[in-house]
Amino acid sequence: MAIVISRNDPAYDEAFLAGASVAFGVFDGVHEGHRFIIGEAVASAREEAARSAVITFNIDPDEVFAPGGLKKLMTNEARIAKLAELDVDAVVLLPFSREFAAQAPADFLEACFGGGAPRHIHIGHDFRFGDRASGNVADLRAWGAERNMEVHGHDLVAEGGEPVTATRIRGELAQGHVAEAAELLGRPYSVTGIVRPGRGDGRDFGFATANLEIPPMLNVIGPGVYGCYAMVEGARYKAAVSTGVPPMFADRTTANIEVHILDFDRDIYGQPIEVEFIEWLRPMIDFPTVDELIETTMGNIAWVRENL
Ligand SMILES: Cc1cc2nc3c(=O)[nH]c(=O)nc-3n(C[C@H](O)[C@H](O)[C@H](O)COP(=O)(O)O)c2cc1C
Ligand SMILES: Nc1ncnc2c1ncn2[C@@H]1O[C@H](COP(=O)(O)OP(=O)(O)O)[C@@H](O)[C@H]1O
């Protein structure tokens, strides 16, 4: 468990990262590739009995520079919380602003490490920073060479012959490939939403569904029916979940995730639910009758009960 500190905090010690071993990146998804790089930073810290840290932005720069159509695996809060669960001493947040990011590469590094350079810095070999992402690993090396900072530009971790990237994981999720996404993430993909009132049909069908509205940026999971776990009020339940606009009710709904929680009967309007996607079950179907929807969905619920 790491402490989370911001460079903007008046109590921040400028020399906090001097001599440390750090991993630097945005780390959306905190996936297997990210964990490898962070693990390397922890390993070089251990060798020198030095402090280990992750350096990241409080806000993903893409949200500022490329918001149109942007999809993300995690909110910034969830990303920072997940990074803080790792085996590093500290997560250092760089307060993101256009001005901060638009500095020339050397100024950017000075702003990050003015109080003393880390001894080791670990990044992916494609790492870019500073004004219009003009700084690269070679610039980092040149800057580090004068400050006894060793730069480790790692090859991206690969699975199945392809690098593990957040874009690749989003692509798998969009196709409903939740098992493949879990392999690349190192844990099941999950998303959190607040329960909103729906049309009230679910209960009449025999399976109440908690309706979650997910902001478009976080709506990466493809339409379909999934076997899941749902975290509700601190407990974990099996759940049968539909995502995407239900074709039978397309004209009457805005919800994009509907969660039937097994063995549960409480009013949870307004509560957050985290849904963990474990198994793809089937596509969304425009059934000719409601009876067929109910029969098939009851079968899906039974499958979840027996198999998760
Ligand atoms: C496991 C599961 C499977 C579902 N499958 C379908 C489907 O194939 N087609 C469809 O139109 N709606 C499907 N739905 C969505 C239901 O139609 C929706 O939950 C129901 O209309 C209740 O909506 P309400 O909670 O807003 O009242 C499914 C829901 C669940 C929980
Ligand atoms: N097993 C359950 N799974 C999901 N929601 C449940 C369950 N039991 C009770 N609820 C509650 O009932 C609501 C769903 O009922 P439903 O009839 O589908 O209405 P709505 O259309 O408002 O979602 C949920 O939002 C939640 O507050």
What HEC string does the chain produce?
CCEEEECCCCCCCCCCCCCCEEEECCCCCCCHHHHHHHHHHHHHHHHCCCCEEEEEECCCHHHHHCCCCCCCCCCHHHHHHHHHCCCCCEEEEECCCHHHHCCCHHHHHHHHHCCCCCCEEEEECCCCECHHHCECHHHHHHHHHCCCCEEEEECCCEECCEECCHHHHHHHHHCCCHHHHHHHHCCCCEEEEEEECCCCHHHHHCCCCEEEECCHHHCCCCCEEEEEEEEECCEEEEEEEEECCCHHHHHHCCCCEEEEECCCCCCCCCCEEEEEEEEEEECCCCCCCHHHHHHHHHHHHHHHHHHC
pTM, to two decimals: 0.93
Together in a domain, 120 and 49: yes
CB of 265 closer than 6 A to ligand 2?
yes
Could you report how far apart the first and last alpha carbons of the chain are, in Å?
A: 29
> What integer pLDDT is reported at residue 255 of this predicted model?
62
Protein residue with its CA nearest to atom 18 in ligand 1: 202
Q: Given 163, 196, 219, which residue is the final one in a domain?
A: 163
Protein residue with its CA nearest to atom 6 in ligand 2: 208
Residue 173 lies in a domain: no
Would you tell me how many other CB atoms lie within 10 Å of the CB of residue 22?
28
Together in a domain, 223 and 302: yes
191 CA → ligand 1 middle, Å: 19
Residue 183 lies in a domain: no
CB of 81 closer than 6 A to ligand 2?
no
CB of 301 closer than 6 A to ligand 2?
no
Residue 180 lies in a domain: no
Ligand 1 pocket, mutate which of 213, 221, 228, 248 (most atoms under 8 A from CB): 248
Closest ligand 2 atom to 271 CA: 27
Residue 26 lies in a domain: yes
Together in a domain, 203 and 79: no
Residue 169 lies in a domain: no
Measured at the CA of 143, the angle between CA 91 and CA 119, to 5 degrees, comes to 45
Q: Given 163, 197, 220, which residue is the final one in a domain?
A: 163
CB of 279 closer than 6 A to ligand 1?
no
257 CA → ligand 2 middle, Å: 12
Residue 15 lies in a domain: yes
**CATH classification of the domain holding 275:** 2.40.30.30
Ligand 2 pocket, mutate which of 204, 253, 263, 268 (most atoms under 8 A from CB): 268
> What integer pLDDT is reported at residue 101 of this predicted model?
84
Residue 98 lies in a domain: yes
CB neighbour list of residue 289: distance below 8 Å, 6 or more residues apart:
none
Residue 170 lies in a domain: no
264 CA → ligand 1 middle, Å: 17
Together in a domain, 125 and 210: no
Domain of residue 137: give its range: 3-163
Q: Give how many domains the chain has, as a whole number.
A: 2
Closest ligand 2 atom to 199 CA: 21
Together in a domain, 132 and 74: yes
Together in a domain, 146 and 282: no
221 CA → ligand 2 middle, Å: 21
Together in a domain, 197 and 242: yes
CB of 258 closer than 6 A to ligand 1?
yes
31 CA → ligand 1 middle, Å: 31
Together in a domain, 159 and 193: no
Together in a domain, 146 and 17: yes
Protein residue with its CA nearest to atom 13 in ligand 2: 210
Together in a domain, 276 and 206: yes
> What integer pLDDT is reported at residue 236 of this predicted model?
98
Together in a domain, 292 and 214: yes
193 CA → ligand 1 middle, Å: 17
Together in a domain, 211 and 127: no
Q: What is the pLDDT along the chain (308 residues), one digit of tens a residue?
A: 899 999 989 999 989 999 999 999 999 999 999 999 999 999 999 999 999 999 999 999 888 888 788 999 999 999 999 999 999 999 999 998 889 888 999 999 998 998 899 999 999 999 998 888 899 999 999 999 999 999 999 999 999 999 999 999 999 999 999 999 999 999 999 999 999 988 777 777 889 999 998 999 999 999 999 999 999 999 999 999 999 989 998 887 766 899 999 999 999 999 999 999 999 999 999 999 999 999 999 999 999 999 99
CB of 303 closer than 6 A to ligand 1?
no
